[in-house]
Structure 1
Amino acid sequence: MKYVDEYRDGALAERVAAAIAAEVDPGRIYSIMEFCGGHTHAICRHGIEDMLPATVRLVHGPGCPVCVLPIGRLDMAIELARRPEVTLCTYGDMMRVPGRDRGSLMKAKAEGADIRMVYGSGDALRVARENPGREVVFFAIGFETTTPTTAVALVQAKALGLRNFSVFANHVLTPSAIQAILDSPEVTTTGSVRVDGFIGPGHVSTIIGSAPYDRFARDYRRPIVVSGFEPLDIMQSVLMLVRQLNEGRHGVENQFSRAVSHGGNAKAQALVDQVFELRDSFEWRGLGTIPDSALQIREGFADWDAERRWQLRYVPVADNKACSCAEILRGVKKPADCTIFGTVCTPENPMGSCMVSPEGSCAAYHLYGRWRDMEKRA
């Protein structure tokens, strides 16, 4: 299969691994954070950590939109779904994320709420057109990758005059999260998390391009390599980062050039800017409240904004004290460091969002058995 099989060549992967081993300085540690949860799953699925020298350590970042959504925002959606006149449309992975008092959209649906799983905003728009007597709300989440499709739905709803459709917007911004990580006191020479460089997100970068990362490389002196999601993509990205670190460079390089450009998708960016504007602040699970880190619907589309229509108010909710999801999202812990991982917390009985989402670190470790016999790297 084009762009898949050729990036899963085992013999070539061994050669790249040998090149990494030959080029690392045995006297130093290379601590690399992969921001995107899709990269974390690929790393676990293909055993990439096992192919790297012990001095190359991968730190799992907060790049999962389901995982970083705070409980308070989920509770707003559950509250909305319980209104008798509302049909809530959402992605399947949001259904089982635990909210306040272990509530969830799945439980609300079992109790009679009209909640429907959809593949995207277009499906939610269709539900609204087919059910003119229902108030259909699309529970929109995601990084920059999914934001344009939500914008398309809002533009179409306005053009159609579809008054029974609205969007509960929870779109967040990748560069803001990267800056929050770099500004954290944990990511210092004496902090609990060391990040020497980043494997930059691939899908997000198809929209925003690689340009937004330039300031992190320049101001924070951390190299960034935007990577694809196949095993050879990630191995090559690690090699590119090792070479930058060895040479004392800190630039932005694009390994995923078959899909990502420097400027990104200008048409998608313009569409998003037409529909959305920056929120002053937004709470992220694990990272806290970050200014200018999320989007809200512009005044011109206010009639299709569920927060305005239903006068929803955000109330912060503390995470489950037994769950280490927040620390895992910051890279402070790995999933196996959580005391309830694989025992109380399983995919069948998740205590936190990291075990639910298909991009969550805990789900990756559990699915691919990385926690059973791997030795923790000190």
Structure 2
Amino acid sequence: MSAVFERRLLARDRGAGLLQKFWQVPWPFVMLLSAVAAVGYVALYSAGGGPEAYASKHALRFGFCVVMMLCMGMVDIRVYARLAPLAYLGGVALLVLVALHGEVGKGAQRWINLGPLQLQPSEAMKIILVLALAAWFQRASWERVGNPVFLLPPLVLVLIPAGLIFKQPNLGTALITVMLGGAMFWAAGVRWWKFAVVLGGAALAAPLAYGHLKDYQRARITTFLDPESDPLGAGYNIIQSKIALGSGGMWGKGFMQGTQGHLNFLPEKQTDFIFTMIAEEFGLVGAMGTLAMLMLVVAFCLFVAMRCRHQFGRLLAIGLGTNYFLYVFVNVAMVTGSIPVGGVPLPLISHGGSAMLTVMAGFGLLISAWVHRDAEFGPARD
């Protein structure tokens, strides 16, 4: 009888703990994410000429991802720290599986077919990389971070997935993966001169790397420098995007009234160029309002980093915020012609399941870091 009574008490305590964690969830942040997804629903409704093509799927995916995110947020943050090495191995295994048996689309081998979902492991790998690097640096002392030998294993952790992603080929995501790794190194306290050495080496190797690019990747760079050189070919996308952006003016043409999008001049309007759809129909005001919401998401990540008492949570929040920022920066810079077109979606707004699933999983980790921001991880290792 006493054993049964103790089990009941333990179950009651666990239930009370989960309820307490549930109320600690940052609900304004959840509402912010819902607002961003609502912007995506409106844009995708317009892009598809109704809800059936893209918007309904977008709403269903987001609903599922919110439940997943909240469930992940209830898990103790230290569990994720312990599982980080296993998660990394699993992520690399998926990238190898893509290289061997992945689905081919638009000339690239990037997806694994899981029935109703086509998973893009390169998207998930960015979140896993943040998790793995946060776990590596979480208890390292300042002196240890300054030791170049200590930095070799995490450098390998970055280069392995970046190389596999580059071979798909997916140059844009590979570069984002490297930049994400660099942000984690910086947040962990790596000295600036080490970054200068790496950047100098990368600059010297750039001409050699250019020679190994695919023809379409070289065309993107050439088109970025001079879009009018091939207005009906490689330069078509960015020219049409700029026309749509400019035609929106201050207040836009109105919901479902965009000419470039609805007359099918604008390519990939539901994915890569969804921000252009928003700017054309809702103008500069709508575009800047959308950017403000996206930057609030990044700001909350930094807020969590400042409030966490443990290094793991701080690094995790900074990495997740950096990942989201890079999504937004690359997509917006791409559609405005500031950088070459690279096929990066606008998270929680563009159509597609892989990016939303992985971004929301990352926010599940972020919520766990917030809920368990006072967790004890032990002293730093010398």
**Which TM bucket (shorter chain)?**
under 0.3
Query: Hey, which of these two has a bigger chunk of helix by percent?
Result: 2
Bigger RCO of structures 1 and 2 (CA < 8 A, at least 6 apart): 2
Which structure has the larger Rg over C-alpha atoms? 2
TM-score of the two chains, using structure 1 as the length reference: 0.26
- Structure number with the higher strand fraction is 1
TM-score, with structure 2 as normaliser: 0.26
